[in-house]
């Protein structure tokens, strides 16, 4: 690890060159869980053999693409909460994002989302060495869906008439991994692969 400020011989050390910082980019990608599972079965979505929470390839089956939502700064908000269960530790994942509430076409997309489950890819503002921590993936095992009250519009609030959309783990289908990272070969290659998923 470059410029290692920590003292551990193995484990997690502090990297002074790439100090962590908060924030995520304003855009996210949703993939229907059914389409994700098809690609996992076809082995076009692959996981690293030594780091199980690292995804090394995401290629959907022919004709399938993700749904890309362009948003605004500070309006994509992922939250992961650890939950102790009798069978072990689980994670409740949720993410809020916004869509423009002034266009009928946008609100049709919101309606058409229905009760579908989704895998969500969001983009960290801080991406670590060479972009290795740039893309984060939620809902890999069980998918996230809109809970009751999963969309809210307030024309007089501080987000200027945007729909606030929430996707979250269901209480009976929590995730076994806090979140996954998507990275393959280099930041540029991963960026290109992420772009190819967008419709």
Which pLDDT value is given to residue 1?
43
156 confidence band (pLDDT: 50, 70, 90):
confident
Whether 48 is in a domain gets the answer yes
Whether 13 is in a domain gets the answer no
Which pLDDT value is given to residue 4?
54
Whether 96 is in a domain gets the answer yes
Q: Give per-residue pLDDT as tens, 21-42.
A: 778 999 999 999 999 999 999 9
Whether 5 is in a domain gets the answer no
The pTM score is: 0.89
Structural domain total, the chain? 1
pLDDT at 160 exceeding the cut of 90? no
pLDDT at 68 exceeding the cut of 80? yes
pLDDT at 166 exceeding the cut of 80? yes
Q: Where is pLDDT greater, at 46 or 152?
A: 46
| Token code pair at residue 104 | 């009928």
Residue 48's closest CA among 38, 56, 37? Answer: 56
Whether 173 is in a domain gets the answer yes
| Token code pair at residue 80 | 């992961």
DSSP the chain: -TTB----SSS---BSTT-----EEEEEEEEEHHHHHHHHHTT-EEE-SS-TTEEEEE-PPTT--BEEE---TT--EEEEEEEEETTEEEEEEEEEEEEETT-HHHHHHHHHHTT--EEEEEEES---GGGTTSEEEE-TTT-BB--TT-EEE-TTSTTSSEEEEEEE--TTS-BSSS-EEE--SSHHHHHHHHHHTB-
Q: Give per-residue pLDDT as tens, 74-117.
A: 899 999 999 998 888 999 999 999 988 888 988 888 888 888 99
Which pLDDT value is given to residue 103?
85
Whether 110 is in a domain gets the answer yes
As a whole number, the mean pLDDT across the chain is 88
Whether 45 is in a domain gets the answer yes
Which pLDDT value is given to residue 94?
97
157 confidence band (pLDDT: 50, 70, 90):
confident
Range of the domain at 84: 27-196
């Amino acid at each position: 690890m470059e410029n290692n400020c920590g003292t551990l011989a193995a484990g997690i050390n502090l990297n002074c060159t790439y100090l962590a910082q908060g924030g995520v980019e304003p855009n996210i990608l949703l993939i229907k869980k059914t389409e994700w599972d098809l690609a996992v079965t076809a082995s076009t979505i692959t996981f690293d053999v030594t780091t199980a929470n690292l995804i090394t390839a995401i290629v959907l089956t022919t004709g399938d693409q993700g749904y890309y939502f362009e948003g605004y700064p500070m309006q994509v908000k992922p939250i992961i909460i650890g939950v102790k269960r009798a069978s072990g530790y689980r994670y409740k994942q949720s993410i809020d994002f916004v869509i423009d509430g002034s266009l009928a076409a946008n609100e049709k997309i919101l309606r058409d989302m229905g009760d579908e489950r989704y895998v969500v890819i969001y983009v960290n503002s801080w991406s670590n060495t060479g972009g290795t921590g740039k893309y984060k993936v939620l809902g890999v095992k069980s998918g996230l869906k809109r809970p009751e009250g999963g969309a809210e519009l307030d024309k007089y609030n501080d987000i200027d008439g945007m729909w606030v959309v929430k996707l979250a783990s269901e209480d009976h289908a929590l995730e076994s991994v806090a979140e996954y990272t998507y990275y393959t070969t280099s930041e540029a290659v991963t960026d290109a692969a992420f772009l190819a998923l967008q419709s």
